[in-house]
Copies of this chain bind each other. A is one copy, B any other.
Amino acid sequence: MFDNLSPLDSRYRADNPALWKTLSAILSEDAYVQYCLQVETALVKALADEGLCTIAAAEEIQKACESVDSKEVQAEEEKTKHNIRALVNCVQRRVSDDAKPFVHLTATSVDIMDTARSLQVRDAVDQIILPQLRELLQLWISIAEREADTPQVGRTHGQHGVPITFGFALSEYVSRMGGRIKALEQACANLRGKMAGAVGSYNASSLLLPDPIAFEVRVLDKLGLRPADHATQMVEPEYLNDLLHAVITAFGVLANFADDIRHLQRTEISEVGEEFAASQVGSSTMPHKRNPWNYENIKSMWKTFMPRMMTVYMDQISEHQRDLSNSASGRFAMEMLAGFSLTTARTIRVTSKLAVHREQMKKNLESTAALTAAEPLYILLAAKGHPNAHEFVRSLTLQVQQRGGSLLDAALQDPDARQYLEHMTDFQRRQLEDPASYQGAAREKTLAVCRQWKTYLEGLT
């Protein structure tokens, strides 16, 4: 395994052998050949339904398809230099002369290949990726609900802004990933097959069948797919492009989450931690290091796979009824699914052990409480009618930074301001006096977002 060229098939296989095997069972060349054979089987069964061949011939071919494997096909391809012709030859040599002509009849190679690709992607998404993402969503929901009241400072530009809760920070990821799951489900349900022949105009099937367009529907129905709205030699590329866009934007959500967690682990911030095994080494030369390397890996995998959308976008262009310049690149596109799945598994693994340092969150929040009160003070002054509240408070903050003390005290020393502040409600006063309590609707929003996606998850079962 370590002689492979791709890290997917060496280092990252070793890292998660069980998932790798599951992915291989759907996304490898071995698997692709099997999907192609499923399509050939569906085709011949539909030919038999139409009376174009006998049921016996169809069953003979189906049985043959069940015993062909990629190794044999590859050996045959060395002669034919054509992968689907090789596969057809392998099937044909297993069946009687009576059945032989009905293998692949009316189809062009890409009828088989593009349909197989859609099946492969559909299964990878339905059986592996969506379950993973839902598991991650559930995990994030649990933590967000648990931490819905944990005070944390909200940060913009890396600077302390106003308070939130840690649950609120996580609910961002619940909401964004929830949205991506929906986008992925929609794109997955919209994958299509084709059985429209060499240039998409049903030439071959028209020779033998009165309604070749309906025939295509019937073949694909056996595989749980619908036909593309239009096809040349290929399925329109946009169905798959939309799905890969959904995958890559979901990957972006993972990368953003990883960046946030990485930065919250900075020595000076230390609000969360990645659990370390007692035997684990952080650095080969700095024995004290506890590095957020898993979150760094998530970001790095995103950097690896995100730019491949450029290939996907370039593969939208194919000359006339198709050129083959999307063939190799289309094969490599499947790596995007594998890379994303492996990274999602890692995210689940490390997030499930996320250590939350509530005391440190509180300490960091309080360290700037004198200043983060600037917003509520300005808002209250303005709401009471102070014509120049923002500028007044901005000057106060400069003063407090130099001389210390609280903003509220400084404001109350200004006779003008004092007058506006007299009529505060108790609720308002409390928020000025205890800036950490100034959390707005952080808790309510967190719970509402979690509720929305729990309902979604419950609806699935």
Which residue of chain B is the closest to A441 with respect to CB atoms?
A: B202
Stretch touching chain B among A127-135, A217-225, A253-261, A351-359: A253-261
CB within 8 Å for A229 and B441 given contacts A29-B4, A207-B383, A323-B157? no
What chain B residues lie within 8 Å of A455 (beta carbons)?
A: none
Instruction: Please tell me if A139 contacts chain B, counting CB pairs below 8 Å.
Output: no
Contact of A378 with B287 in the complex, beta carbons under 8 Å: yes
Contact of B100 with A388 in the complex, beta carbons under 8 Å: yes
How far, in angstroms, from A176 to B315 measured CA to CA in the complex?
14
Which residue of chain B is the closest to A449 with respect to CB atoms?
A: B230
What chain B residues lie within 8 Å of A449 (beta carbons)?
A: 229-230
What chain B residues lie within 8 Å of A252 (beta carbons)?
A: 313, 316-317
What chain B residues lie within 8 Å of A396 (beta carbons)?
A: 287
How far, in angstroms, from A369 to B256 measured CA to CA in the complex?
31
Nearest chain B CB to A277's CB is how many angstroms away?
7
Contact of B81 with A277 in the complex, beta carbons under 8 Å: yes
Instruction: Please tell me if A338 contacts chain B, counting CB pairs below 8 Å.
Output: yes
Which residue of chain B is the closest to A159 with respect to CB atoms?
A: B267
What chain B residues lie within 8 Å of A199 (beta carbons)?
A: 154-156, 161-162, 164
Interface residues on A, range: 35 or more
Contact of B319 with A260 in the complex, beta carbons under 8 Å: yes
Q: How would residues 136 to 174 of chain A score, 1 for a CB under 8 Å from any chain B CB and 0 otherwise?
A: 000000000000000001111111111111001101101
Nearest chain B CB to A43's CB is how many angstroms away?
12
Instruction: Please tell me if A104 contacts chain B, counting CB pairs below 8 Å.
Output: yes
Contact of A324 with B385 in the complex, beta carbons under 8 Å: no
Cross-interface CB contact of A289 among B161, B201, B232, B288, cutoff 8 Å = B161
Contact of A310 with B307 in the complex, beta carbons under 8 Å: yes
Cross-interface CB contact of A382 among B102, B156, B383, cutoff 8 Å = B102
What chain B residues lie within 8 Å of A290 (beta carbons)?
A: 159
Instruction: Please tell me if A48 contacts chain B, counting CB pairs below 8 Å.
Output: no
Instruction: Please tell me if A79 contacts chain B, counting CB pairs below 8 Å.
Output: yes
CB within 8 Å for A441 and B206 given contacts A279-B80, A311-B303? yes
Contact of A169 with B320 in the complex, beta carbons under 8 Å: yes
Instruction: Please tell me if A375 contacts chain B, counting CB pairs below 8 Å.
Output: yes
Nearest chain B CB to A335's CB is how many angstroms away?
6
Cross-interface CB contact of A11 among B29, B159, B278, B284, cutoff 8 Å = B29
Contact of B287 with A379 in the complex, beta carbons under 8 Å: no
CB within 8 Å for A287 and B374 given contacts A9-B6, A30-B3, A441-B201? yes
Contact of B155 with A108 in the complex, beta carbons under 8 Å: no
CB within 8 Å for A297 and B313 given contacts A5-B20, A157-B292, A288-B371? no
How far, in angstroms, from A438 to B386 measured CA to CA in the complex?
55
Contact of B313 with A325 in the complex, beta carbons under 8 Å: no
Contact of A82 with B280 in the complex, beta carbons under 8 Å: yes
Which residue of chain B is the closest to A271 with respect to CB atoms?
A: B268
How far, in angstroms, from A389 to B101 measured CA to CA in the complex?
7
How far, in angstroms, from A169 to B80 measured CA to CA in the complex?
30
Residues from 301 to 340 in A contacting B, C-beta threshold 8 Å: 301, 303-304, 306-311, 313-332, 334-335, 338
Q: How would residues 364 to 379 of chain A score, 1 for a CB under 8 Å from any chain B CB and 0 otherwise?
A: 1001100110111011
Which residue of chain B is the closest to A25 with respect to CB atoms?
A: B3
Cross-interface CB contact of A175 among B162, B164, B229, B277, cutoff 8 Å = B229
How far, in angstroms, from A213 to B338 measured CA to CA in the complex?
39
How far, in angstroms, from A126 to B266 measured CA to CA in the complex?
41
What chain B residues lie within 8 Å of A444 (beta carbons)?
A: 213
Nearest chain B CB to A196's CB is how many angstroms away?
8
What chain B residues lie within 8 Å of A230 (beta carbons)?
A: 171-172, 174-176, 445, 449
Contact of B326 with A156 in the complex, beta carbons under 8 Å: no
Cross-interface CB contact of A108 among B4, B97, B283, cutoff 8 Å = B283
Which residue of chain B is the closest to A190 with respect to CB atoms?
A: B179
Instruction: Please tell me if A281 contacts chain B, counting CB pairs below 8 Å.
Output: yes
Known pairs A5-B23, A213-B441 / 6 extra A-B pairs, C-beta < 8 Å:
A2-B33, A154-B201, A161-B289, A206-B441, A263-B319, A303-B325
Q: Could you list 5 A-B pairs, sorted by A, with CB under 8 Å?
A: A2-B29, A202-B440, A203-B442, A207-B431, A245-B245
